[in-house]
Amino acid sequence: MNNFFLNLTHYFKRVWAEIASMTLLLIIPLGLTILNSFMGEGMTYAGYNIAATGAAPAFMLSFQFFNCAIMLGFLYEDFRGERRWRLRAAPCTLRSFLAPAIIANWIISALFGLVLIAVTGLFFNVYWGNLFVVAAVLALVSLMSIFVAMLLFLFIQKFNVANGMVYIISFGLMVLSGMMFIPLGDGPIGTFLTTYGTPLSLGTNAIVNAMYDTLPGMFELLGLRLGVDVHGIEQAYINIGILAAATLVLGIITAIAAKAKGRRAF
């Protein structure tokens, strides 16, 4: 147990050392939200900026997947790079470093999301609605991004290729969720993708649906503006359930893949 907390502290320090990279999770989505706030100036409801409120959840969740790049850097450096031999000299197994690395990245990534929520809510009139729903969605999407990084590490030998895949996956999810100004149409496929088809659309729609009980007028405006099939807080919980199930399945697949790879990976 002592080794676990020592390793966890070690990775927290290393994550903070990557603060320039971590700002990607905060500065870019914050900047895009602020831009939407200025563009939508004058479009308010109950004192909240409608445009910024509609954009902020999508941007926050989208950039959680860029955390994969930071996690990948640790995995390749520690388990395939020169640091691997230094860690083998530690009084614990090489695999014992894996859980602390995952937890440290997960916590810091989610923390940056919470900072974004606080800043946009306090200074740019973004309405976040049910904070329990927001926190649950943030935690699940952030954890899912960690599992994606793990799978890329397990199946792709070269770091540069895996790192490139992070950006393909991240921007691909944004396109498929209807967040990149590329019309997906009103057909069944486009509707499914923008409501349930990706973790980003599931999470965004959960946050919007949860506004029904706290600020119905904003809920109705965003439901119309985002084109979501809104049903209120019950639908938000359904979306969170689907997101949790998908994260669990992804975690199980990651665990099976890691076991199958065995010592070749770790």
Q: Is the pLDDT of residue 19 over 70?
A: no
Q: Provide, rounded to the nearest whole percent, the portion of the chain with pLDDT above 70.
A: 86
Tell me the CB-side half-sphere exposure of residue 124, using CA atoms within 13 A. Answer: 25
**CA trace torsion 143, 21, 36, 121 (10° rounding):** 60
Q: What is the mean pLDDT of the chain?
A: 84
Tokens of 61: 């969740």
Amino acid identity at 209: N
Q: Is the pLDDT of residue 20 over 80?
A: no
pLDDT score, position 109: 85
- Considering only CA atoms, which of 141, 142, 143 is closest in space to residue 200? 141
Summarised one tens digit per residue, pLDDT across range 118-137 is 999 999 999 999 999 999 99
Summarize the confidence of residues 183-196 as an average pLDDT: 79
Tell me the CB-side half-sphere exposure of residue 240, using CA atoms within 13 A. Answer: 20
Q: Provide, rounded to the nearest whole percent, the portion of the chain with pLDDT above 90.
A: 33
Question: Where does the pLDDT of residue 85 fall: very low under 50, low under 70, confident under 90, or very high at 90 and above?
Answer: low
Summarised one tens digit per residue, pLDDT across range 24-80 is 777 888 888 889 888 877 788 888 999 899 889 988 998 888 878 888 888 888 888
Question: Where does the pLDDT of residue 98 fall: very low under 50, low under 70, confident under 90, or very high at 90 and above?
Answer: confident
pLDDT score, position 62: 87
pLDDT score, position 221: 80
Q: Is the pLDDT of residue 140 over 90?
A: yes
